[in-house]
Chains A and B, each alone.
Chain A
Amino acid sequence: NAGVMQNPRHLVRRRGQEARLRCSPMKGHSHVYWYRQLPEEGLKFMVYLQKENIIDESGMPKERFSAEFPKEGPSILRIQQVVRGDSAAYFCASSAGTLEYEQYFGPGTRLTVT
């Protein structure tokens, strides 16, 4: 059973470009979470999605950031018009349920904005 997959592992974008980060949850998991980690810091929650629904986006910046988890295919975190402050590691996690279920994390995508 493959774990949570994220791609790309490393992404370099120039200021103003768009970044698309992909996450495939573990098989059988329908709950996906995105977290952001700045250097030397802990992870900060961004958004929680179930298939075709955004359940909690309280951690998402109001502008330029969006997320989706379509019926088919991976979850996508999209950052438009990236700025240097968006440089961070973005982690996706998935779980089988929401009540005391462990979240399993992917290897992360390290975004560098030049």
Chain B
Amino acid sequence: SQQGEEDPQALSIQEGENATMNCSYKTSINNLQWYRQNSGRGLVHLILIRSNEREKHSGRLRVTLDTSKKSSSLLITASRAADTASYFCATDHGAAGNKLTFGGGTRVLVKP
């Protein structure tokens, strides 16, 4: 299976703390994308990191990619209550049309 798997499945932190979640996959990728989903809502695109990139930043988000270990991490710094959501990694393995393969997600709860 090419499916990405997130770790941990759930994470509970205090506001202001950092949140780190990891994603592993099994076969080579073109790129890896992180999405956020608030309860009962659609997905919001956060970051796309290409296979030849090792790190990317966007605001309070930092994504790393280690293709030798087939893993990625998403770090949210100085978390806020509004960051409470599920976070999914999605991998593009280069299939026709670049369909995405999603992991099961990490459910993050940021307590005020």
Contacts and interface: CB of A to CB of B under 8 A. Distances in A.
Nearest to B99: A45
Contacts of B30: 99-100
B99 to A, nearest CB: 5
B88 A101 contact: no
Contacts, number: 69
Nearest to A42: B102
B45 A42 contact: no
A99 B92 CA distance: 10
Contacts of B102: 35, 42-44
B46 to A, nearest CB: 10
Contacts of B98: 95, 98-101, 103
Interface of B: 3, 30-31, 33, 35, 40-45, 48, 50, 88, 90, 92, 95-105
Interface residues of A, number: 27
A108 B59 CA distance: 27
Nearest to B102: A42
Interface string A21-64: 00000000001010100000111110010000001100100000
